[in-house]
A and B are shown apart, each in its own frame.
Chain A
Amino acid sequence: MEINLSQTLSDSLDPAVEALALEMTGITKRYGSFTAVDGVDLSVRPNTVLGLVGENGAGKSTILSIINGTNRPDSGTMEIAGSVVGYGHPLEAAEHGVATVFQEQGLIPSLPVYENMFLGREKRFIHHGILRRRSMIAEAAKVLRDLGVDIDPTQATQNLSFGQRQLVEIGKAFATTAAHDAHPIILLDEPTSALSAVETELLFDNVRRWRDRATFVLVSHRLSDLQALCDDVAVLRDGSLIAQLPIADTTDDQLHELMVGRKRDVEYYKEADQRDTLGPVVLDVAGLSSAGRFREVNFQLRQGEIVGLAGVLGSGKSDLARAVAGIQKTDQGSIEIAGAPLRNGSISHAIRQGIQYVPAERTAEGVILSHSVEKNLTLTLLDKLTYRSTSILNLRGGRAMTQRWIARLRIKAPGPDVPIGRLSGGNQQKVVFARCLEREPSILVLDDPCRGLDVGAKEELYELVRSFAESGGSVILVSDNLPEIIGLSNTILVMRSGAITASLKSPASAKPDERDIVKEMV
């Protein structure tokens, strides 16, 4: 296979070949003060598969959304087949042959396959105001047959497997671009994340076969996908393109290093403050399973310890954290806090036992954006603010509590009464932390607490986590950011497909290497 790949490469490297399928020059996209993509130059040769890799937040999705027209770059130019394009509307991308196969599938389950394939593009099947169903079906069947896909186009989409639906989406992409007579550029956004090994192999076989008819851009977390399928690979880090090179010239280790790149900053993660001596076991998870999420999980958390949970999306790390916090029900096994079992799936019991949870989706699960800073901060603490056993609130107490935390965590807010939505993400997250810390919990469960925050806010939160552990608290830290996990944790548990695959010690004096962790993740 390797020989085969380099063969293709040298063929297409021939200077006589046609223009690039896609070329981006100096593409930059900002969201407020955050630069998602910074001056990216990307080129995709026709009839090849380009792999786009990088950590979460590296800018992969933004690049895809610029190619398919759902986002407009702030600066830079994009050329398709040698001519500059600037979309006025996402639909125009299709005229240039660009089609996206989304991670979350873009098909309507209740419609038959053929209707999904031509959704929004039924016009050419309409004669005298009547939609000609039969010619639609025939056309859909032809597209699928040409692609070598064996799916009956009259089937209801919901009866197909995930893998089959994905093939329908790709068929839809071909049908759409064919209608515009353009060379198809098909964007595959993490296509294998929900596929079984067999389905993945089938998809890859198909993509290899279709390569002579189309150009592909593939986003994937799995390095094995890239090795199996791509001709070139482009590595993004923090919004910049770090490297673009033929995959044959790289090794796994090199890719890992390119993806992660930055040096771990000892200071940033307050590693000097990391505790070496830990207290007794405070949390004991034994044989914990939850169907389809994780299985047979065993681990212990000691007083003052920070346990990091690493793993790719869908590895079960967030589900495990939610189970400990009482949000996710489990099927088997037990969670014990200081020797007493935790009630299965009871959030309020977990809270009473001293567990506080910070969700990953801050704006959906952490704070109510339209409500004030004070209402958000005190929401979980109202029982501390009522008079005796009544429901009546001590408003002055609530105000004092809010102001105390605003001062203590240096929360930048115009006042306790402004809607929290007007605060920066970092300050919103500090409110969530304040709410948790006011409870004086023994265990903090943090699900990617610094997602999408800027460097300064992260550092302040790291300091909070560190001082919480130092004062005898224990932490379960889920994160997509490996340096963060390595920097903060005493112990790192790596999860893959719902199981813990490795447990690594991470003392301040001998932090493990990122590549060793990634190896266990993928």
Chain B
Amino acid sequence: MTNATLERTTLDISETLRKNSTLVYPFVSVFAIIAYFTITSPQFLTFDNATNIGRQAAVLLLVALAGTVVILIGSIDLSVGANVTLSGLVTAAAVDRVGLLGAIVVGVLAGAAIGFTNGVIYTGLKVPSFLVTLGTMSVCAGVAGHLSGGSAIVYSSTALPGFVNSKSVLGIPNVIFIVLAVAALLTAVSFRTKFGRYLYAIGGGEPVAVLSGINLRRYKVLAFVLGGALCGLGGVILTGQVQAGSPSAGDALLLDSIAAVVMGGTALSGGLGGAHRTVLGVVVIALLSNGMDLTGVNNFTQEIVKGLVVVASVALTIDRSRYSFIK
């Protein structure tokens, strides 16, 4: 190989890397994390641990998908964690009365209702989504406190935990199939439906979407409702996993979910990325958390590491040309 072709090849590679940086970084991180923890912990690369990671990441994936839908239209939903908590409590309170199927419907509807409220306030009163959902986050947390009296809501149904935790196929917990199916469905919706295309268009260029005659308000509300419903399902699954409704179980999901969305490559400015990318981001976060648990990293240290990873990943992947000022 001559010097010139070598130079061109390296140029091509760096060009390809630069163009696909939002896809390359998560993949590289996944492999780096797997390699590192495989060396440092003998239990890391085992089947049991893999299903364990899947179980731990299931609710996070749903919440991150909820975040993705809203971030795609260029908005943000900060109430996702509180929504999971509240929907989960509602599910726990209802399951003994309405049965498994009823509980799932009630939980998902509760989440969707919270999303609908967010969407209507956001589009109707034209309050930035950041502030609307900051408010509803607090409201949801308060309602959850009242509903539970500050302690867990214990239920006696065995159908819900059974449905979520049992391993009917290949020794893999049902919950993993459920959330992966949701992710696949959502990916299909984003690419193969008018609804999905409109979400991208609204986030990518709102004025273009308006001039195209798209009913902006309707689709924005729908995005929030869909996100809320996903959080509701997250609440149902969480309630099944811990076999009780907890008054704060979902709260920690907010930061992790935004981290996963952004690391996956969905731009906070909207219009780029999507559900399929978020799966990748969730895998990174889940591997990182699990690996640190296994190697006995202190909880507080874990928080520091995750915080740094979020900032670093945004710094690497953000498309600065789309902002005239970084606020």
- Residues of A participating in the B interface, judged by any CB pair closer than 8 Å: 327, 347-348, 350-351, 357, 359, 361, 364-371, 375, 378-380, 382-383, 385-386, 391-393, 395
Contacts and interface: CB of A to CB of B under 8 A. Distances in A.
Interface stretch (B139-147, B206-214, B228-236, B274-282): B206-214
A443 B197 CA distance: 26
A351 B208 CA distance: 14
Contacts of A350: 213
B197 A368 contact: no
B208 to A, nearest CB: 5
Given A327-B210, A368-B204, A391-B195, 18 more contacts: A327-B211, A347-B211, A347-B213, A350-B213, A359-B211, A365-B205, A365-B208, A368-B205, A368-B208, A371-B200, A371-B201, A375-B197, A379-B208, A379-B209, A391-B194, A392-B192, A392-B193, A393-B197
The 9 closest A-B pairs by CB, nearest first: A368-B205, A348-B213, A368-B204, A380-B212, A391-B193, A382-B194, A365-B207, A347-B213, A391-B194
Contact of A367 (B195, B197, B200, B208): B208
B291 interface: no
9 contacts: A327-B211, A350-B213, A351-B213, A359-B211, A364-B207, A368-B205, A371-B201, A379-B197, A379-B212
Interface in B250-301: 271-272
B195 A368 contact: no
B215 interface: yes
A368 B201 contact: yes
A368 B211 contact: no
Q: Select the residue from B192, B193, B205, B210 with max chain A CB neighbours within 10 A.
A: B205
A351 B213 CA distance: 7
Contact of B200 (A359, A375, A383, A391): A375
Contacts of B271: 368, 370-371
Contacts of A375: 197, 200-201
Contacts of A365: 205, 207-208, 211
B contact residues, range: 20 to 34
A373 B210 CA distance: 19
Contacts of A383: 194
A385 B209 CA distance: 17
A351 B215 CA distance: 13
Given A367-B208, A368-B205, A382 B197 contact: yes
Given A347-B213, A371-B200, A379-B212, A393 B207 contact: no
Q: Select the residue from A348, A361, A364, A391 with max chain B CB neighbours within 10 A.
A: A391
A445 to B, nearest CB: 11
Nearest to A394: B192
A327 B211 CA distance: 7
Contacts of B209: 379
B205 A357 contact: no
Contacts of B208: 364-368, 379
A357 B211 CA distance: 8
Interface string B184-202: 0000000111110110110
A47 B209 CA distance: 51
Contacts of A393: 192-194, 197
B12 to A, nearest CB: 16
Interface string B295-327: 000000000000000000000000100100000
B272 A370 contact: yes
B204 A370 contact: yes
A395 B192 CA distance: 7
Given A391-B195, A392-B193, A348 B215 contact: yes
Nearest to B322: A370
A215 B198 CA distance: 53
B276 to A, nearest CB: 16
B259 to A, nearest CB: 23
Nearest to B201: A379
Contacts of B204: 368, 370-371
Contacts of B210: 327, 347
Contacts of B198: 382
Nearest to A386: B194
B94 to A, nearest CB: 31
